[in-house]
Amino acid sequence: MSRLVAVAANTFRETVRERVLYNLVFFAILMTLSGLLLGQLSIRQDEKILKDIGLAAMDLFGTLIAIFIGTGLVSKEIERRSLYPLLAKPLTRGEFFLGKFAGLAFTLLVNVAVMTAGLALTLLATGRRPALALLGAVYPILLGLLLVVAFAMLFSTQTSAALAAVLTVGVVVAGRFADVVRNMREVAPDVPPWLAEGLYAVLPNFQNFDFKDKVAYGDPVPGGVLAWVTIYGVVWIAIVLCLGLVSFRSRDFQ
């Protein structure tokens, strides 16, 4: 466990020293602040617009961080061979892989916390009281981001960082349109039902992590729903991490 924590701590240090992280956080803050301007252009919708844009920035830039840093976590280690001296130590491949995941997960947690604080401060600055209900959208976003990291790491165990990024983007996009996949027979009746159902089953439904609209309109997200989303997210993350682990443990480092 101490070795897993050591890898996680080092991964956190690695990610916070990545320039790309700061670029993305900068743009996310810029986008949140742009909500101030757009809010003034709307009539009595400024709070909703602020929340909408703030949460969307958190989701979008969090996903970009998860993909671009996540895909490099393992594949760059393999390409540069920096993991060779580490794996010769009493560090199992499982500890290395899960430590990398935990490190980036912590980075994303800090990142989402900073952006949530930024959004709350923006709301306060415009005379609105940020409600705790905001977390009803933030928490599922974080779960979704962790699932993106798990996919990015799974692909990066066998391909280059660039190809892993393309594959992860593919899964994220398809997962955000998972309902369309499930109902594709409505627009394409010739598609066999097993294909539509099969595709839906192997894709995570990223819409399940999306409560942005609900929260922006001021509707609370019930605790039962959040519990269900937690189970859904954790099960998916566990499955994808297990696949990644099997893939990582089976590979040779030539």
Partner 1 sequence: MPAPAALVTTGLSKSYRTGHIIQGRRPALQDLDLEVQRGEIFGYVGPNGSGKTTTLKLLTGLLKPDRGDARVLGEPLAARSWRFRAGYLPEHPYLYDYLTAAEYLDYAGRLFGLPASRRREKTRELLALVGLERSANVPLRRFSKGMVQRAGLAQALVNDPELVILDEPMSGLDPIGRRLVRDLILGLRRAGKTVFFSTHILSDAETLCDRVGVLRAGRLVRVGTLGELLRLDVQHMEVLVSGLAPDAPGPWARRCESVGERLRLEVDERDLGRALAAVEAAGGRILSVQPVRQTLEDYFFREMGAAAGGASAWGEG
31, 36, 87, 184: which one binds partner 1 (CB under 8 A): 87
Minimum CB distance to partner 1 smaller for 194 or for 253: 253
Rounded to a whole number of angstroms, the minimum distance from the CB of residue 245 to partner 1 is: 16
Least Å distance, CB 54 to partner 1, is 30
As measured in angstroms, the least distance from the Cβ of 213 to partner 1 is: 39
- Interface residue with partner 1 among 41, 43, 44, 90 (CB under 8 A) is 90
CA of residue 196 relative to chain centroid, distance: 25
Of the ranges 86-94, 127-135, 151-159, 190-198, which one interacts with partner 1 (CB under 8 A)? 86-94
Q: Which amino acid is at 174?
A: A
- Asked if residue 86 binds partner 1 (CB under 8 A), the reply is yes
Q: Which distant-in-sequence residues (6+ apart) come within 8 Å of 18 by Cβ?
A: 69
| Neighbour tally for 253: CB within 10 Å | 9
Site for partner 1 in 44-83 (CB under 8 A): 80-82
**Cβ closer to partner 1: 7 or 171?**
7
- What are 228's two structure tokens? 């269900």
Short-list 154, 153, 157, CA closest to 251: 157
Interatomic CA distance for residues 161 and 249, integer angstroms: 18
d(CA 243, CA 223): 30
Per CB under 8 A, does 92 bind partner 1?
yes
Q: According to the binding rule CB under 8 A, does residue 253 interact with partner 1?
A: yes
Least Å distance, CB 218 to partner 1, is 43
Question: Among 38, 91, 114, 243, which residue sits at the site for partner 1 (rule: CB under 8 A)?
Answer: 91
Distances (CA, A) of 108 to 52, 116, 181: 20, 12, 29
Compute the least distance from the CB of residue 106 to partner 1, in Å: 16
From the list 130, 105, 165, the residue with the least C-alpha distance to 32 is 130
Q: Does 20 bind partner 1 (CB under 8 A)?
A: no
Residue (26 or 84) nearer to partner 1, CB: 84
CA distance 184 to 53: 30
Q: With contacts defined by CB under 8 A, name the span among 10-18, 115-123, 143-151, 229-237 that binds partner 1.
A: 10-18
Q: Given CA atoms 169, 175, 177, 183 in this order, what sign does their dihedral have?
A: positive
Do residues 251 and 164 touch, judged by C-beta distance below 8 A?
no
**Is 84 an interacting residue with respect to partner 1 (CB under 8 A)?**
yes
Which element (helix H / strand E) includes 26? helix 19-41
CB under 8 A: which stretch of 13-21, 161-169, 178-186, 214-222 binds partner 1?
13-21
The binding site for partner 1 (CB under 8 A) comprises 2-3, 6-7, 10, 13-14, 17-18, 80-82, 84-92, 252-254
